[in-house]
């Protein structure tokens, strides 16, 4: 765990130091964004133990039928060129399938909690029309997949790991329109084998306080544990929500 925290510090500290060095406008104050959202996501991947796996594929309509609980939130604080941001995602669903090798009916239950904490620093800034950020941080995965065969639980292995990530974000804005695109990659064998996140968002400002946005967001994680348990899952789909700026 100490090694993981060391790597995370390497990724985050340069952004924080860069933000402290930028004193070009000492009169500026912190600005905040809070955005609850609806993520019309689908799941596709595999949950496996030893040489057996259960394919999982659920569309948004399936999630509506099978979702027990879902919560999604983005929050960000910005001052000058520095931003601190966090994301929360929680999903729980059940999917019927079969073991890939034995072709035995099975049921997979997926509980997926993702907490993201990161920093962004504006590397390039053309007034407020175009901003290019370097981003880095950590993504905490808490996954609780369960495989049931014949009503009996064959495995219920909780997976908790931390992925460092780094990437880039583009933002454009006008009087009414605000757009952003982000891509990052993480894991790299420190937590998962690899994980990544992508989002493309278009927003319309009704006022300085309130805006509406829509777009696409996707997460992918490929994890292989030392206990022969693996979790390879893509979660993605259209996203919409309100953004409160103050």
Is 85 a residue whose pLDDT tops 60? yes
Query: Residues near 162 by Cβ (< 8 Å), separated by ≥ 6?
Result: 4, 8, 138, 139, 140, 141, 190, 191
Exposed/middle/buried for residue 18 (C-beta within 10 Å: 0-12, 13-18, 19+): middle
What are the two backbone dihedrals, phi and then psi, of residue 228, each rounded to the nearest 5 degrees? 65, 20
Q: Is the pLDDT of residue 183 over 70?
A: yes
Is a pLDDT exceeding 70 seen at residue 210? Answer: yes
Q: Looking at the domain assignment, is residue 216 inside a domain?
A: yes
Q: What is the CATH number of the domain that holds 200?
A: 2.40.128.90
Computed from CA positions of residues 228, 110, 58, 149, in that sequence, does the dihedral angle turn out positive or negative?
A: positive
Average model confidence (pLDDT) across the chain: 78
Residue 45 maps to a domain: yes
Quick one: which H or E segment has residue 61? helix 60-66
Domain assignment of residue 24, yes or no? no
- Of the chain, the percentage scoring pLDDT greater than 90 comes to 40
Residues of the domain holding 143: 2-19+31-245
pTM for the full predicted model:
0.75
Containing 102, the helix (H) or strand (E) segment is none
pLDDT for the residue numbered 19 = 47
**Do 196 and 185 contact (CB within 8 A), yes or no?**
yes
Residue 26 lies in a domain: no
d(CA 148, CA 98): 10
Per-residue pLDDT, averaged over 169-190, amounts to: 93
pLDDT, tens digit, 9 for 90 and up, residues 51-81: 555 555 555 555 555 554 457 899 999 998 9
Inside any domain, residue 240 = yes
**Residue 44: predicted pLDDT:** 81
Closest listed residue to residue 91, CA positions, set 126, 54, 43? 43
Q: Is 157's pLDDT higher than 80?
A: no
Q: What is the pLDDT of residue 102?
A: 44
pLDDT band at 171 (very low <50, low <70, confident <90, very high): very high
Secondary structure in 3-state letters for 115-172? EEEEEEEEEEEECCCEEEEEEEEEEEEEECCEEEECCEEEEECCEEEEEEEEEEEEEE
104 close to 149: Cβ distance less than 8 angstroms: yes
Residue 237 to residue 214: CA distance in whole angstroms: 11
Count of structural domains within the chain = 1
What would the pLDDT profile of 5-39 be if each residue is shown by its tens digit? 554 555 555 445 444 544 544 447 899 999 998 88
Mean pLDDT lowest among 97-111, 144-158, 222-236: 97-111
Is pLDDT larger for residue 200 or for residue 48? Answer: 200
| 161 or 135, higher pLDDT | 135
Q: Domain for residue 41, yes or no?
A: yes
């Amino acid at each position: 765990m100490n090694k993981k925290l060391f790597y995370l510090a390497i990724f985050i500290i340069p952004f924080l130091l860069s933000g402290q060095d930028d004193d070009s406008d000492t009169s500026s104050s912190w600005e905040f964004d809070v955005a609850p959202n609806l993520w019309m996501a689908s799941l596709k991947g595999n949950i496996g133990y030893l040489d057996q796996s259960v394919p999982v594929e659920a569309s948004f309509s399936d999630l509506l039928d099978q979702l027990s609980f879902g919560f999604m939130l983005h929050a960000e604080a910005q001052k000058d060129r520095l931003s601190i941001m966090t994301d929360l995602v929680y999903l729980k669903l059940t999917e019927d399938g079969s073991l890939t090798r034995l072709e035995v009916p099975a049921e997979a239950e997926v509980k997926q909690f993702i907490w993201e904490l990161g920093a962004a620093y504006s590397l390039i800034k053309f007034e407020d029309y175009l901003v290019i950020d370097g981003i880095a941080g950590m993504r905490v995965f808490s996954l609780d997949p369960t495989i049931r065969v014949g009503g009996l639980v064959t495995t219920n292995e909780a997976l908790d790991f931390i992925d460092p990530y780094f990437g880039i974000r583009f933002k454009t804005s006008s009087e009414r329109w605000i757009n952003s695109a982000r891509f990052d990659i993480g894991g790299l064998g420190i937590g998962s084998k690899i994980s990544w996140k992508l989002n493309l968002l278009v927003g319309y400002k009704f006022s300085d306080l309130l805006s509406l946005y829509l777009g696409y967001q996707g997460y992918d994680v490929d994890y292989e544990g030392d206990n022969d348990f693996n979790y390879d899952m893509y979660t993605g789909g259209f996203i919409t929500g309100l953004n409160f700026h103050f």
